[in-house]
Amino acid sequence: MNMKKFPLRSIPRRKFLEMSMKGGLLVAATPTLLSHLVSCREGTRPAIEMDKDTISRVIRKALERGGEFADVYLENRISRQISMEESIFNSGVYGIRQGAGVRVIAGDKTGYAYTDEINEENLMRAAEVASYVARNSQTITPVDIAPAQRESYITVAKPLEEIADNQRIEIMERANQAALGYDPRIRMASISYYDQVRSRIIANSEGLYLSDELPLLMFIVSTLGEEGNNRHMGRDRLSHHSGFEMFEKTTPEEVATTAARESVDMLVAEDSPAGTMDVVMENGWGGVLVHEAVGHPLEADNIAKGIGAFTGKVGQKVAADCFTMVDDGTIPNERGTINFDDEGTPVKKNVLIENGVLKGYMTDILSAKQLDMKRTGNGRRESYRNIPIPRMTNTFIQKGDDKPEDILASTKNGLYVQSLSGGSVNSVTGMFNFTCREAYIIKNGKKTKPVRGATLIGSCIDVVTNIDAVGDDLAFGPGNCGKGGQTAEVSVGQPTVRIRGINVGGSRA
Amino acid sequence: MNYKELTEKLVDQCLRLGADAAEVYLQSSRSLSIRIRNADIETVQESSPMGIGFRVIVNNRLGFSHCNDFTDRSLTSTIERAIAFAKLTSPDENNVLPGDKGYTEIEGLFDQEIQNVPMDRKINMALELEELALKDERITHSSGSGFGERETETFIANSNGLSQSFKSGSCSISVGVVAQKGDQRSTGSESSSKRFFADLDPLPEIAETASQRAWEMLDPQPVRTQRASVIFDSRVSSRLIGGITGALNGLRVMQGASFLGDSMDKQFASDLITVIDDGTRQRILGSSPFDGEGVPTARRTLVENGVVRNFYYNTYAASRAGIESTGNASRGGYTRIPGIGTHNILVPGGEHTPEQIISQTRRGLLLNSITGSGLSSVTGNFSGGAAGFWIENGRIQHPVRGLTIAGNAEEVLYGIDMLGNDTDMSRSTVVPTFRVREMQIGGV
């Protein structure tokens, strides 16, 4: 991938420059790799062939000392982040990150090395370092790489490269005005805009060669409501793998109003009571509860190690009959959607639990091999600086037949959770915890007073066996999922559900 | 490449390309990570990440860009992107860069020895650690052990004539195990992270702690919802102090997003609590000669006997408050604009041993794990998931898990009535065990 060895043809680069100029950008920062990636995508043959030869040499080098699998991952990410606080655009950050990693698998061992500077010499060195774990093991002859085709679930009407920065600024201003105009008790709004285009090339010793480009947008509005001594930070987020048309489907005003409404409504909240309660969870982002409580324990790495909470339970009844859970990386333009995972495996709709019966786990190449299971397209990585591990994409509870209003009306007393901040799970013990951002006391089947500071805690097995009502109103929410020091963009989905007997923490008896 | 010269040269280039003021921040690292599981290597990862960040100011407006491609063409276009962004953001007269105020001399930030230790010895240490942690028969599985090391060179130059650099390093060793009994699983882990290889805790000690943490939590029993004392052991006590230090962030205070915003020189917590931020401790992980924008670090008392004494600031927030930076610019690497953060938090110990605190507690919870948000910097209220041991009449009775604890700012912070003397000064964050007289505990 050395520039000297692979002279760039002027066409793809000029085309890229044109695209950038159209967007009103002053300069087109076109790092080496991106030009290659753009040219690959557009099918400019000479560059691809040269690239593939280099990559083949790197793969052969990686398997020189042994090992049964090797892959090369090249990545370029161009990002823009603009933030606004107190009606001031306080920063704009433009970033280029690129690099490449080489991985070798030998039995249960993985060797990995990466370089920030992409050239053949560095990749060869990375291959040599990665091959350390494969010393004295059996080896294979790599299959010659050939371009593969993958279906795309991401459509772009308004490419991010063609959007002028002042259009981004305008979206943020609209959100700011809507938030501050919602109510005089909104004391501060902070708006965060982020977009990136991540370009990937994946090639491996099984002969795979793939490249693509994933655009991603994330828009967050946080509002601080204040009245007397009471304060509440409200928040709403919008994120898709999409072009700038995302803001036509959901306007910045809608995002701002959702955050502001929460800030104001929660100002009269009382301290949460503590104890065991029935919980009704509103549709949408509440799905993060099953993401943590059930999703993580179903990622196959801990299963392969024999320590995960659901180890050895495939085919067994692990949840209530009404509970079906799916991980689906193919939902058009969702935040967790990727056309293929970071190992090149196509994403799929994977049913994890069907009517209470455990159907399967989410695998990457290594855990699929260890468990002798199929690759499910869940091998993801934060960037070229990390190895792939099993991760979720869009994870949701399948919708049921109950009407949300009936679920609430038939719950005599309990807690109505409108939104959660986030939470975590120990995927070995299955113990999880969540903090509620917005919750209400249910009395005689009705939402009453808001309460603050409620925590939900329990074991994942208990939650899925104690779900007894599933609504017909499936909705999704965007989030960031952290695992093993890596962050992945995901979405979670859930219809309104009721879970009997969750331990709720609060400061009142 | 001489990075010091490069950063200085790039500052000039920023000015030539139209910046009124500019800062160039460069980091170059090398890291190694070894993971072991079931007596064999699981992963070996090696890397040498590097990158460069440009902060430019044009007409009081701020722009930032970063890249990790050091070719002239890339560097130039990245600077131009920062300047283009600076034409879009809002003018703010507090967008200023610090002048050269020198640096704080600190011994022991880099250990040459770490990279001289042969690879095999590092692998063998992790292998031995796992073996030791699996020795107890109650331990059934390994979640893996590991050795990691990292060295980083940081260079900062700005258009006020500041040009600083320092080299730092660290190494760590860790292990995690599982105790399974029937359908019950309990996990335990421990790690040791130090600037010097020779300072790593002894392997048997790390192994025993991890192993004990797993088996001692087997067979938990339920407790009912009630109000009782809560002892925060030194593993979790920093979670509560972290909520306090978060509320002393000078910018959060000015934004009205801190529960301590109006508390300067006022009592807000038990007089047992003193909180010091010290970025100058020798051989300690959070120390550095200067902060994330080149301002010398210092030792400062934030809270003195329950009274707020100081907020902390970076250059931007300090300018806004009309004071000097306190050397608390944090920097999450070259890709980030400077934020505000603390270095090494220290809460000086009290007079009781942890055992005395337990024996003087009639009924309550000895907490060794908190999940969830902890103490909120905005409201001061505490809420979280909890696990630990139940205490009756000064004696530990049995493990408990799946509990919740909560309390409002006043009852929690003034409620701290006993402070331990268990301060491990080899750590970056030093907070001893303490007791809160009474909190709401959610059980069955």
Q: Where are the domains of chain A?
A: 10-152+198-214, 271-505
Token pair 């915890």 is found at A433
- Rounded to an integer, the average pLDDT of B118-124 is 95
B81 contacts on A by Cβ (under 8 Å)? 26-27, 29, 94
Instruction: Single out the residue in B193, B215, B237 at which a domain terminates.
Output: B215
- Helix then strand then coil, in percent of chain A rounded to 5, is 25, 40, 35
Residues A339, A347 contacting (CB under 8 angstroms): yes
CB-based contact, A455 to chain B, within 8 Å:
yes
Residues of A whose CB is below 8 A from B67: 29, 31, 95-97
Q: Does B231 lie in the same domain as B252?
A: yes
Report whether pLDDT(A505) > 60. yes
List of residues 6+ apart from A310 with CB closer than 8 A: A297, A298, A303, A318, A358, A361
Tell me: do B263 and B184 sit in the same domain: no
Examine the domain organization and report whether B168 and B235 are in the same domain: no
Q: Which residues of B touch A426 (CB under 8 A)?
A: 187
Average pLDDT over residues B99-114: 96
| Among candidates A90, A275, A508 on the partner chain, residue whose Cβ is nearest the Cβ of B62 | A90
Per-residue pLDDT for A49 more than 80? Answer: no
pLDDT at A48 over 70: no
Looking at residues A352-362, what average pLDDT do you find? 97
A81-123 per-position pLDDT tens digit: 999 998 999 889 999 999 999 999 999 999 999 998 888 999 9
**Cβ of A31 and B66 within 8 Å?**
no
pLDDT band at A39 (very low <50, low <70, confident <90, very high): very low
User: Do B278 and B311 fall within a single domain?
Assistant: yes
d(CA B318, CA A498) in angstroms, rounded, equals 49
List of chain A residues whose C-beta atoms are within 8 Å of the C-beta of residue B143: 305, 307, 428
Does the beta-carbon distance from A96 to B256 stay under 8 Å? no
Cβ pair B335:A431 closer than 8 A: no
Tell me if A388 sits within 8 A of A343, measured CB to CB.
yes
pLDDT(A45) > 50: no
Residue B253, phi then psi, degrees to nearest 5: -65, -50
| A 381-420 → B contacts, CB under 8 A | 385, 387
**pLDDT single digits (tens) B49-81:** 999 999 999 999 999 999 998 989 999 999 999
Residue A408, C-beta contacts closer than 8 angstroms, at least 6 positions apart: A280, A416, A442, A445, A446, A447, A496
Question: What is the mean pLDDT of the segment spanning A220-238?
Answer: 93
Are B187 and B242 in a shared domain? no
Q: Count other C-beta atoms under 10 Å from residue B166's C-beta.
A: 16
User: What does the pLDDT look like over B359-405, one tens digit per residue?
Assistant: 999 999 999 999 887 899 988 999 888 999 999 999 999 999 989 89
At B23, list the tokens. Answer: 């800062």
Average pLDDT over all residues of chain B? 96
Shortest Cα distance, chain B CAs vs residue A125, angstroms: 11
| B200 and B228 belong to one structural domain | no
Between the ranges A111-120, A303-312, B240-249, where is the mean pLDDT highest? B240-249
- Please identify among residues 23-52 of chain A the ones whose CB lies closer than 8 Å to any CB of chain B: 25-32
Segment A435-460 mean pLDDT: 92
Query: Looking at residues B203-230, what average pLDDT do you find?
Result: 96
Whether B309 shows a pLDDT value over 80: the answer reads yes
- Per the structure block, which two tokens stand in for B321? 């408050």
Nearest to A387 by CA among A509, A485, A480: A485
In percent, how much of chain A has pLDDT > 70?
A: 90
Q: B380: phi > 0 → left, psi -120 to 50 → alpha, else beta; which?
A: left
List, in sequence order, every residue forming a beta bridge with A190; answer none if it has no partner: A85, A222
Sign of CA dihedral A172, A175, A177, A180: negative
- Top residue of A65, A429, A459 to mutate, by most chain B CBs within 10 Å, is A429
In angstroms, the separation between the Cα of residue A271 and the nearest Cα of chain B is 8
pLDDT for A331 beyond 70 = yes
Facing residue for A92 by CB, picked from B42, B85, B373:
B85
Using the Cβ of A8 and the Cβ atoms of chain B, whether some distance falls under 8 Å is answered with: no
Across B287-381, the runs of DSSP E, i.e. the strands, are 299-304, 307-308, 329-330, 339-340, 345-346, 363-375
The terminus-to-terminus CA distance of chain B in angstroms comes to 64
pLDDT band at A300 (very low <50, low <70, confident <90, very high): very high
What integer is the mean pLDDT of B95-122? Answer: 96
Residues B211-231, mean pLDDT to the nearest whole number: 96
Distance from CA of B41 to the nearest CA of A (A): 6
Q: Which domain holds residue B295?
A: 220-444
Q: Is the pLDDT of residue B260 over 70?
A: yes
Residue of B nearest to A455 (CA): B384
Q: Which of residues 239-258 of A touch B (CB under 8 A)?
A: none
Choose, out of A37, A173, A195, A307, the residue to mutate when testing the contact with B (most B CBs < 10 Å).
A307
CA distances from A86 to A230, A239, B255 (A): 19, 23, 8
Phi, psi (deg, nearest 5) at residue A255? -65, -45
d(CA A273, CA A508): 4
Q: Is the pLDDT of residue A483 over 50?
A: yes
Contact B65, B53 (CB under 8 A): yes
Contact across the interface for B444 and A276, Cβ inside 8 Å: yes
Alpha-helix residue ranges (DSSP H) falling in B134-183: none
Those residues with Cβ within 8 angstroms of residue A248's Cβ, 6 or more apart along the chain or in another chain: none
What is the rounded (10 degree) CA torsion for A154, A160, A166, A170? Answer: 0
| Residue B374 shares a structural domain with residue B232 | yes
Are residues B415 and B331 in contact, defined by beta-carbon separation less than 8 angstroms? no
Chains A, B: CB pairs < 8 Å? 265
The Cα–Cα gap between A119 and A99 comes to 10
Average confidence (pLDDT) over A170-181: 97
Please check whether residues B290 and B172 belong to one and the same domain: no
pTM of the model: 0.87
Extract the tokens encoding A462.
Answer: 């208990």
Q: Determine the pLDDT at residue A421.
A: 83
- Tell if the CB–CB gap between A231 and B379 is shorter than 8 Å: yes
ipTM above 0.90, yes or no: no
- Residue B276 and residue B406 share a domain: yes
CB–CB contact B65 A95 (8 Å): yes
Mean pLDDT (whole number) for A149-168 = 94
The answer for residues whose C-beta is within 8 angstroms of residue A94's C-beta and 6 or more apart is A29, A78, A79, A80, B63, B64, B65, B66, B78, B81, B82, B84, B85
State whether B84 and A165 contact (CB < 8 Å).
yes
* CA–CA gap between residue B306 and residue B317 (Å, rounded): 24
| Domain match, B168 and B302 both | no
Do B178 and B196 have their domain in common? Answer: yes
Contact: A505, B401; criterion CB under 8 Å? no
DSSP notation for B413-442? HTTEEEEB----TTSSSB---EEEEEEEEE
**Would you state the structure tokens that stand for residue A84, as one six-digit string?**
């606004």
What are the C-alpha distances in Å from B385 to residues A27, A328, A425, B246? 51, 30, 11, 20
Strand ranges across the sheet with A475-483: A357-358, A349-354, A325-328, A394-397, A486-494, A475-483
Structure tokens at A51: 């690239």
For A242-261, what is the mean pLDDT? 97
Q: Which two tokens stand for residue B418?
A: 């006993």
- Note whether B29 and B102 are same-domain residues: yes
A509 pLDDT band (50/70/90 cuts)?
low
Looking at the DSSP assignment, which residues form a beta bridge with residue A192?
A83, A220
Q: Domain containing B137 — which CATH number?
A: 3.30.2290.10
Averaged pLDDT, A250-255: 98
Residue A10 has pLDDT above 50, yes or no: no
- DSSP helix/strand/coil, A266: helix
Domain count, chain B: 2
Per-residue confidence (pLDDT) for residue A32, from 0 to 100:
37
Q: What's the rounded Cα separation, in Å, for the pair A1 and A14? A: 19
pLDDT exceeds 50 at position A175: yes
